[in-house]
Amino acid sequence: MASRIFGDPADWPDQDLIGLSDEFSLPMVIDAYTAGVFPMPLDVAGRQEMGWFSPVERGILPLDELRVTRSLRKMIKRYEVTFDTAFGEVVRRCADPSREGAWIDDRIVDTYTALHIRGLAHSVEARNADGELVGGLYGVAIGGLFAGESMFHDQQRGRDASKTALVALVERLRTAGGPRLLDVQWSTPHLASLGVVEVSRTDYLARLSEALTLPSLTFGP
């Protein structure tokens, strides 16, 4: 599955970072996701470059293997979940520079907002009883792929709110049917506890090729 921009996966280096660029555009991002690649800004010798990643071991969440604990099921009842009602706010909350490991810069915000306008990026929001946004996530959806980008929760008022958004997303994808693919980029102990597993780059690209044959889901309020 050779990419017009990123070439043949057989020629990619045996590492997660497969390339760097000064350029960053909407066509590049769309091509990247359909090729199994995603962008992330990097500081390279004091210069801001765009890194392009295709992890050797990719984190995915099999839709039938999501683990929902009894305590999480109780917390889910506290929130109302919506789709695409506050995309900009979700991205801004995820981009909060005070967060540990913050990486989302203005280029990412602007480009993913453009993707959202085109119907290729979506948010899932979790709101409390007062209607306040206390957690959520956003990602890119093309065909049967949903590539999760980032998630957040309000530490004071949104316990398990981001997990609630994830559960709702999985349910939406699962009920749509077909070999849909929920990509989380890299696994972490936290994500593994929810059912995320790692697959090889080759396996991921095969799953992606199949997922891209499916019709895109309709998200929305």
In order, the DSSP letters of 107-139 are: HHHHHHHHHHHTTSEEEEEEE-TT--EEEEEEE
Residue-level pLDDT at 43:
87
What percent of the chain has a predicted confidence (pLDDT) above 90?
Answer: 89
User: What pLDDT digit, counting tens, does each position of 178-193 carry?
Assistant: 999 999 999 999 899 9
**Whole-number Å distance between alpha carbons of 49 and 59:** 24
3 contacts: CB under 8 Å, gap ≥ 6: 31, 32, 34, 35, 37
Q: What is the pLDDT of residues 50-74, one digit of tens each?
A: 999 999 999 999 999 999 999 999 9
The radius of gyration of the chain from alpha carbons, rounded to an integer in Å, stands at: 17
- pLDDT category at 3 given cuts 50, 70, 90 is confident
Q: Where are the domains of the chain?
A: 9-55, 58-211
The pLDDT-based confidence of 105 (bands split at 50, 70, 90) is: very high
Dump pLDDT digits (tens) for 9-31.
999 999 999 999 999 999 999 99
For range 132-155, the mean pLDDT: 97
Q: Give the model's confidence band at 1: pLDDT under 50 very low, under 70 low, under 90 confident, else very high.
A: low
Alpha-carbon distance values, 95 to 56, 171, 219 (Å): 26, 26, 22
Q: Which residues, 6 or more positions from 65, have their beta carbon under 8 angstroms from its beta carbon?
A: 195, 197
- Contact between residue 58 and residue 204 where contact means Cβ atoms under 8 Å apart: yes
Nearest of 59, 27, 23 to residue 149 by alpha carbon: 59
For residue 99, what are the CA distances in angstroms to 59, 137, 150, 169? 22, 15, 12, 23
d(CA 93, CA 95): 5
Residue-averaged pLDDT of the chain: 95
- What pLDDT, on the 0 to 100 scale, is given for residue 100? 79
Dist CA 112 CA 148 (whole Å): 12
CATH of 58-211, one of 3.40.50.300, 3.30.70.420, 3.40.630.70, 3.40.50.620: 3.40.630.70
Cα 178 from Cα 57, distance rounded (Å): 23
pLDDT value of position 193: 94
